[in-house]
């Protein structure tokens, strides 16, 4: 579906996410289908699949591993499909990520995924969608079971509400940072932190809170070291707009990579745009390696001066110049916004 910049009106293909002219997030006429499915889990579902042979992309109506009834598809990516499922014995609802066969055949990737799944089970935290278990069917389908989290994807909320208030930004970033810290303490780096991987949920009293999704699943610790290979086709690992400089360079990653992405997300929540500009996506990535971020106050003059100090440190090109931990960044952000 074609994407359009709500600021300047420029149209892009369906692979684009941000306007290369002014950095604004692109949008379609309707809201993301993933968010709609997450917000309406009891919507009518498809009939059991009686067509082509079952595959990771075609599971609705099937019973996975004699245990999970696949209710409907709620998301997909280049390496996996995500389904809403129900445990046939307990009626508990889960989100199940089924990995692509090509990924499942990569021995190194699967060995790493199994290690991270074992750690991910220990990630139980109110602000993290953790891994419940990892399994493999007799047919060779590899899957990961997670709690089914209902809410609105942060990227959709950003588009719906426009600029996020300082109070909401401070609360969401603090909650995301708390979730990240649990993972970082276990040596797990998210590596693909972005608004599409944050779910904004509601408590019984209507209060919103943020949950970090998709921890450590099917991601490499290093991106390609050749910048010319970075394209807009989605073949690189991670989301280009929110990747840290060390990811773009193919360097080793640690918790400070997530802090960079968290600072970028904060900037976008407050300004509606990204802090770098370029004629195309590759130029924007090169700008991240060479240029300083555009001050947030240039985008939104009512922001306090102290906020830019915090954001610039969070988005420092060198990891040693950033905050050491995600909660440290969140605390500095709260202090800056009062």
321 phi, psi to nearest 5 deg: -90, -5
Q: 268-277, pLDDT tens digit by residue?
A: 999 999 999 8
Q: Looking up tokens 């900037």, which residue turns up?
A: 267
Up-side HSE of residue 90: CA atoms within 13 Å toward CB? Answer: 7
Span 284-293, mean pLDDT? Answer: 90
The rounded distance, in Å, linking the Cα atoms of 263 and 267 is 6
Between the CA atoms of 193, 194, 199 and 200, what dihedral angle is there, to the nearest 10 degrees? 120
Helix, strand, or coil (residue 118): helix
Does the pLDDT of residue 234 top 50, yes or no?
Answer: no
What integer best gives the mean pLDDT of the chain? 81
- Mind telling me the catalytic residues? 192
Residue closest to 62 by CA, chosen among 47, 74, 78: 47
Q: Which fold, 151-337?
A: Transferase(Phosphotransferase); domain 1 (1.10.510)
Burial 19-37 (b: 16+ CB within 10 A, else e): bbeebbbbbeeebbebbeb
> Which helix (H) or strand (E) covers residue 39, if one does?
helix 33-39
Does the pLDDT of residue 186 top 90, yes or no?
Answer: no
The domain segmentation of the chain, as residue ranges, is 34-147, 151-337
With the C-alpha atoms ordered 303, 304, 308, 313, is the resulting torsion angle positive or negative? Answer: negative
The rounded distance, in Å, linking the Cα atoms of 111 and 334 is 39
pLDDT score, position 6? 65
Residue closest to 183 by CA, chosen among 130, 114, 220: 130
**The domain 34-147: what is its CATH number?**
3.30.200.20
pLDDT score, position 17? 67
Q: 14-36, pLDDT tens digit by residue?
A: 656 676 666 666 766 443 334 33
């Amino acid at each position: 579906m074609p994407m359009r910049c709500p600021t300047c009106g420029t149209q892009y293909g369906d692979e684009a996410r941000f306007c290369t002219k002014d950095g604004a997030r692109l949008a379609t006429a309707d809201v993301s289908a993933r968010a709609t499915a997450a917000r309406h889990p009891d919507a009518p579902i498809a009939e059991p699949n009686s067509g082509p042979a079952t595959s990771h992309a075609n599971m609705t109506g099937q019973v996975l591993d004699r245990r999970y009834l696949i209710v409907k598809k709620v998301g997909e990516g280049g390496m996996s499909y995500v389904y809403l499922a129900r445990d046939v014995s307990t009626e508990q609802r889960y989100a199940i990520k089924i990995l692509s066969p090509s990924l499942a055949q990569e021995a190194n990737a699967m060995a790493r995924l199994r290690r991270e799944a074992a750690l991910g089970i220990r990630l139980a935290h109110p602000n993290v969608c953790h891994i419940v278990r990892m399994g493999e069917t007799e047919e060779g389908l590899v899957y990961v079971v997670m709690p089914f989290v209902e809410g609105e994807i942060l990227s959709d909320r950003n588009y719906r509400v426009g600029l996020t208030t300082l109070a909401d930004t401070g609360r969401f970033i603090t909650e995301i940072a708390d979730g990240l810290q649990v993972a970082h303490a276990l040596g797990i780096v998210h590596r693909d932190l972005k608004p599409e991987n944050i779910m904004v949920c509601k408590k019984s009293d209507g209060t919103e809170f943020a949950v970090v999704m998709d921890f450590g699943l099917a991601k490499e610790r290093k991106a390609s070291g050749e910048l010319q290979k970075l394209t807009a086709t989605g073949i690189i690992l991670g989301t280009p707009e929110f990747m840290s400089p060390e990811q773009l360079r193919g360097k080793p990653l640690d918790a400070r990579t997530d802090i960079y992405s968290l600072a970028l997300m904060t900037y976008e929540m407050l300004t509606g745009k990204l802090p770098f500009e370029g004629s195309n996506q590759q130029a924007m990535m090169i700008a991240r390696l060479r240029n300083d971020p555009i001050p947030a106050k240039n985008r939104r003059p009512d922001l306090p001066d102290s906020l830019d100090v915090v954001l610039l440190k969070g988005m420092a090109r060198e990891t040693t110049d950033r905050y050491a931990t995600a909660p440290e960044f969140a605390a500095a952000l709260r202090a800056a916004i009062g």
